[in-house]
Chains A and B, each alone.
Chain A
Amino acid sequence: MTVDITDPRAAEVIPAAHGLRPRRRIGIGARLTEALRQPVLVLAWLVVLTAAGWALFPWLFTSVSPYEGNPALSFSPPSSEHIFGTDRLGRDLFARSVYGAGTTLTATLLAVLIAFGAGTLVGLIAGYLGGAVDTVIMRVIDVLLSIPSLLLAMVIVSVLGYSTHNIAIAVGISAIASFARVMRSEVIVIVNRDYVRAAYGLGVGRLGVVLRHILPNSLSSVVALAALEIGTSILAVASLGFLGYGAPPPEPEWGLLVAEGRDYLAVYPWISILPGIALALVVIATHRISTSFRKEHRR
């Protein structure tokens, strides 16, 4: 295959091969005004940063223990003292939601890292080597994609045993296939680019070409997918937690928090609904941000 010089994508990628990635220089002021023109996006970032703060420094946001409750105060509705109310054991639900962010978001991050790392590697191997290796890998990926990822994750968790870590591993493994497929289709295009052939011509070894030229130039799509996958993984982790495959009960985890309130839904709805709303807001915010990434990527 010869590369069409008039292909605008080719022109865009060639400078990058020499490490001279073209970058629009925009001052901080200009960036800020641009950002403020999209108030929803600013709001989304605030939500995500708050959730990250909850996960990293929970003690800054609440001074109450997420484990110890005051039985005298059980089932108190949201008030200025307990803004999310309290649960069956009188534990502060806001504190449990704040500490739960750490459990849920750590698992999410681990899941995305596994899916991204393994998926990128498998896609790179399939796309670069081609031939029989590619065929075998792609058929296996077809099969993995034909099992709904929640079901696949449930099966993997049942084999590994119940815990938040295993949920993260299961969610990560079940997302490998989609990363591998995207990565492979990118690599196949890049492998035939003129600058890759030029690198071979200049005597660069195979590994060098893969690491210096093919990998960096084919990553952008998988990175965009990883941003999108964060939201999806939070949902998957929380769903598995909700079904009871995650941390054992005293542990705060968002999906589990919602599940714990289910039995009291008719009388004390806030137990399920307030942590659930926090969870939904974070996922909506990450989706909004990843969409803005993709738009930027396309420009």
Chain B
Amino acid sequence: MLHYAALKIGRALFVIWAAFTITFLLLFVLPAEPVDLLFDPAELNTIPEDVRAQVAANYGFDKPLLLQYLDRLGHAAVGDFGTSVQSGRPVTQALLEVLPSTLILSVGALLLAVVIGFAIALLATATRRPWLRNLLESLPSAAVSVPVFMFGIVLLQVFSFGLGWFPSFGDGGWQSLVLPLVTLAIPVSGPIAQLLVRSFTGEMGAGYVVTSFAKGATRGQVIVGDVFRNASLPALTIAGITFGNLIAGSVITETVFARPGVGRLTQGAINTLDIPVVQGIVVFVAASFALINLIVDLIYPLLDPRLRASLAARTS
């Protein structure tokens, strides 16, 4: 078990380091003149040579690449990704400032998505009407097929401009959170619901379920008492994918609803080619992804005795 944990932790650390290296290659090495990216392309030709050289020196672009890399890596290791080109503020500070807003949005959307996923899976398993089952099973694939911005725009149109129930933008009070939450939750719930439907259907055919039926349990009792726990566990395996969906979705959702957050920060940084901010965000996201997968890898054996047994057999 200890060996297993060490291996997983090593992999997570590797992913974070490699994400840093890949973004360094993409953003600092690939562009012929990375310093040019710091200026507005329209004004690039009017900028005097000495100003360019000075800016390049400021950001360390005049030093050899390897030195730049080691310098940035050393700072990144202690959470320092340099300063934003646009605002001049430390990248980490800018990120931490908008993080709570995105965290509230994503955690809320995740909870809602899990509820939707379970509701669809439970209903699809419980019903005996084939048409209802088919309808429920086709919902998740529809949820991932409709672009996130369309959900946002339709919800805005109906509930904000049409019915006037919720404000259309901003970040004030719980009312302004409802529409972004739903917008983000629907696409995130799709994969979760798909996996749960498959898992519930699989477990319904298991031997212990047949036994329960034989002993006189009703369909509802079987689902709640026997199937629910066993069939829910696999949902943890797509935690990483879910996290990715939340991040990608929050970029779009925050844009549609003009909410401050990591997604808006990302979009702004890309628009203005604020390289240090872009790198900071990508490494932060990759690190969060690695951490989530690490946690799932470590707690899954604790939750599922079967996996624990097979791990013990393999590592001993």
Contact = CB atoms under 8 A, between A and B. Distances in A.
Q: Do A and B come from one complex?
A: yes
A151 B23 CA distance: 12
A276 B142 CA distance: 14
**Residue from A146, A259, A291 whose CB has the most chain B CB atoms within 10 Å:** A146
Given A242-B147, A265-B153, A269-B161, A158 B286 contact: no
A265 B255 CA distance: 15
A238 interface: yes
B154 interface: yes
A159 B31 contact: yes
A101 to B, nearest CB: 15
Interface stretch (B14-22, B80-88, B122-130, B307-315): B14-22
Interface in A223-240: 231, 235, 238-239
A276 B153 contact: yes
Nearest to B148: A239
Contact of A272 (B27, B145, B153, B293): B153
B149 A242 contact: yes
Contact of A265 (B144, B161, B240, B293): B161
A143 B18 CA distance: 7
B156 interface: yes
Contacts of A3: none
A272 B26 CA distance: 34
A158 B266 contact: no
Contacts of B252: 239, 242-243
A154 interface: yes
B291 to A, nearest CB: 10
A149 interface: yes
A146 B243 CA distance: 10
A147 B27 contact: no
Contacts of A265: 153, 156-157, 161
B44 interface: no
B251 interface: yes
Contacts of A277: 150
B282 A151 contact: yes
A288 interface: yes
B145 A148 contact: no
Given A155-B282, A243-B251, A147 B149 contact: no
A157 B26 CA distance: 11
Interface residues of B, number: 49
Contacts of A209: none
The secondary structure that dominates the A interface is: helix
The secondary structure that dominates the B interface is: helix
A209 B19 CA distance: 36
B49 to A, nearest CB: 23
Interface in A127-165: 139-140, 142-144, 146-152, 154-159
B201 to A, nearest CB: 15
B278 interface: yes
Nearest to B144: A287
B296 interface: no
A262 interface: yes
Interface in A264-297: 265-266, 269, 272-273, 276-277, 279-280, 283-284, 287-288, 291
29 contacts: A143-B14, A143-B19, A143-B286, A146-B15, A146-B19, A147-B282, A147-B285, A147-B289, A148-B245, A150-B247, A151-B248, A151-B281, A155-B26, A155-B27, A155-B282, A159-B27, A238-B147, A239-B148, A244-B271, A255-B147, A255-B149, A258-B147, A258-B149, A258-B153, A262-B256, A269-B161, A273-B157, A276-B149, A276-B153
Interface of B: 11, 14-15, 18-19, 22-23, 26-27, 30-31, 141-142, 144-150, 153-154, 156-157, 161, 168, 240, 243-245, 247-248, 251-252, 255-256, 266-267, 270-271, 273, 278, 281-282, 285-286, 289-290, 293
Q: Which 3 A-B pairs have the closest CB atoms?
A: A150-B248, A148-B244, A143-B18
Interface of A: 139-140, 142-144, 146-152, 154-159, 231, 235, 238-239, 242-245, 255, 258-259, 262, 265-266, 269, 272-273, 276-277, 279-280, 283-284, 287-288, 291
